A = this chain, B = another copy of it.
Amino acid sequence: MATHRLDESAAGVYIICATPFTDSGELDLDSATRLIDFYIDKGVTGITILGMMGEALKLTPDEAESFLTTVLKHVDGRVPIVVGVSNAGIDNLASLAKISMDNGAAGLMIAPANGLGTDEKIYRYFCQVFDALGDRVPVAYQDYPLSTRSETSVTVFLKLVTEFDQLVMLKHEDWPGLGKVTQVRQMSLEQGVRRVSILAGNGGLYLPQELQRGVDGAMTGFAFPEMLVEVVRLHRAGEIDKAEDLFDAYLPIVRHEQQPGFGLALRKEILHRRGAIASSKVRAPGATLTATDHDELTRLLSRVERNVREL
């Protein structure tokens, strides 16, 4: 079992792991381990499971636990595993958190509850969460208002960082959010607040810009993890233009995957075509691809292939 612990130094690419199902909708643990190997083979630094794009809320708790333990056992410490545990009830959240950490997870990813409309509500929610988790469990804060309808100000985020040592990362996917990255970095410096890791989410749509503004990598799903890995590596090696050239070669697909809801069906189809999972099935309620969607994707993929060849 793993001994990684997520901390403020986290960097690189934590891929948001899809959850594979069979064509008939059963949890497909064979594909899960194959997908994990695929991700590790592509060079990811870590893997985040049971996130929104992992269809976590569509799994029964037994399935979630089964997926979780299978993945953690299969990874066997090769890379750190972060587990998404956001839940409508804090007891449920704490319960999945315990199972995760007991099985060797490196940390948790938690988004604010839905529809928290003020800084106070955000703050109180996370006080309750951290209180339920205890202070030894590392947490990545998922800031994704398009989905949660809860916006997090830089002020309240830094207040939480100041008060809770276990908050070690910002998974940044506010939109627009480039200015927020800069503000978190600047205000941390000015106020002497502990520097946390920031990883870019949002499908990586603005990854080059975010790297230039101070994020440490990406925590997002994309069907070509090797692109994310290489973009982050090049950027850190100072090859900023080369990083962005590579990113731009894939941008048509990044953008295509970025369609809310529908994008997950596309991502799973690409993973399927690449041999990483047996079926592109998305559980209900979820999108399915038409013949037109398939042809369109084929065309986009071949164009990106050409782009990459020509780099």
Contacts and interface: CB of A to CB of B under 8 A. Distances in A.
Interface of A: 25, 55, 57-62, 87-92, 95, 113, 117-121, 124-125, 128, 132, 145, 149-156, 175-176, 178-179, 182, 205-206, 209, 212-213, 241, 244, 248, 251-252, 255-256, 259-263, 283-285, 290, 292-293, 296, 300, 303, 307
A296 B90 contact: no
19 contacts: A55-B89, A57-B87, A58-B92, A60-B61, A61-B61, A90-B285, A91-B284, A117-B149, A117-B150, A118-B118, A118-B152, A119-B155, A124-B285, A132-B284, A176-B259, A182-B292, A206-B256, A248-B303, A251-B252
Given A255-B251, A293-B179, A88 B118 contact: no
A285 B117 contact: no
Contacts of A132: 284
Contacts of A175: 259-260
A262 B95 CA distance: 25
A121 B212 CA distance: 25
A259 B184 CA distance: 19
Given A119-B155, A155-B120, A248-B252, A113 B285 contact: yes
Contacts of A151: 117-118, 121
Given A92-B59, A113-B285, A260-B175, A156 B252 contact: no
Contacts of A121: 151, 153
Contacts of A154: 120
Given A57-B89, A95-B60, A179 B262 contact: yes
7 nearest CB pairs, A to B: A58-B89, A117-B151, A176-B259, A57-B88, A118-B153, A176-B262, A90-B284
B89 A284 contact: yes
A92 B92 CA distance: 15
Given A60-B95, A92-B59, A92-B60, A178 B259 contact: yes
B90 A283 contact: yes
Contacts of A90: 58, 283-285
Given A117-B150, A209-B300, 8 more contacts: A58-B89, A90-B284, A117-B117, A175-B259, A176-B260, A176-B261, A179-B292, A206-B255
Contact of A213 (B176, B251, B260, B292): B292
